[in-house]
Amino acid sequence: MLLETDRSTTPTPSRASRERVLSAAAHLFRQRGYASTTMRDVAEHANMRAGSIYYYYPSKQQMLNAVLDRAITTLTERTAPLLTGQRGSLSCRKRFARAIHAHIMVTVEMGDFSLAFRRLVGELEDKQQREIATKRNLLDEHWRQLLSEAASGGELSAGADLAIIRLLVIGAINSTHEWFNPAKGSSDAVVDTLTRMVFEGFSPER
């Protein structure tokens, strides 16, 4: 009897080609924008025949949706468990720091996808925009809950504007790909600075 192999660890040629197309699309969408990128451009960048990519993505709109969905899905999978888990054993500050570190690493590792997400969500059709917004809002809600928990538990000042703190933090993290180089600096220093700014700069007065 033949044993079923683990397909998740050994990509098939078809899956590998799909990933190559998606990475090429993310890179070109980031560099040129949606309107200035053609399916032929993506095929050339992926080193494939122009007609071949239609097997994986029948339209440029579907390709864009796949790029942006990959960005938000990966970010959610990597950060949400850190924001919501271990409530009983870890302080809000530690969960905050771990989630920031994960977010930074996703942003840096998926630079093309992350930048395309920030710039091109408005290019999606309405249905896809709503689907992406639902995923993004869920992640935002996890951040809101953590900061609210920190405030109610005395780790943050009760008078601190949690919405502004959240927007400032997320904005800072999302821009790390523009100025942070892992080869020249440690992400730990970035995490420590942001965490200190929030949990010491907005800590209750003593």
CATH of the domain at 135: 1.10.357.10
User: Residue 112 in contact with residue 33, Cβ under 8 Å?
Assistant: no
Single out the residue of 10, 180, 45, 31 nearest to residue 113, CA to CA. 31
Q: Which residues of the chain have pLDDT under 50?
A: 1-8, 206
What is the pTM for the complete model shown? 0.84
Structure confidence by residue, pLDDT tens digits, 66-116: 999 999 999 999 999 999 987 778 999 999 999 999 999 999 899 899 999
Q: Is residue 101 part of a domain?
A: yes
CA distances from 78 to 19, 93, 128, 198 (A): 19, 18, 22, 21
What pLDDT does residue 80 have? 96
- Sequence-distant (6+) residues with CB within 8 A of 110 are 70, 71, 74
Q: Helix H segments across 33-161?
A: 39-45, 60-84, 92-109, 111-120, 126-152
What pLDDT does residue 204 have? 61
Q: Is residue 12 part of a domain?
A: no
Token code pair at residue 36: 């200035």
Q: Is residue 87 part of a domain?
A: yes
Structure confidence by residue, pLDDT tens digits, 32-41: 999 999 999 9
Single out the residue of 165, 154, 150 nearest to residue 204, CA to CA. 154
Q: Is residue 55 part of a domain?
A: no
Full residue range of the structural domain in which residue 162 is found: 60-199
The pair phi, psi for residue 35, each rounded to 5°, is -65, -35
What pLDDT does residue 179 have? 82
Q: Is residue 23 part of a domain?
A: no
Token code pair at residue 44: 């050339």
What pLDDT does residue 1 have? 38
DSSP state of 204: P
What pLDDT does residue 159 have? 81
The C-alpha atoms of residue 34 and residue 50 are separated, in whole angstroms, by 18
Q: Is residue 11 part of a domain?
A: no
Burial class from Cβ neighbours inside 10 Å (0-12, 13-18, 19+) for residue 44 reads middle
The C-alpha atoms of residue 44 and residue 72 are separated, in whole angstroms, by 26
Q: Is residue 67 part of a domain?
A: yes
What pLDDT does residue 78 have? 96
Tell me the residue type at 53.
Answer: I
Q: Is residue 49 part of a domain?
A: no
What pLDDT does residue 2 have? 39
The C-alpha atoms of residue 103 and residue 76 are separated, in whole angstroms, by 9
Single out the residue of 101, 96, 102 nearest to residue 83, CA to CA. 96
What pLDDT does residue 205 have? 57
Domain count, the chain: 1
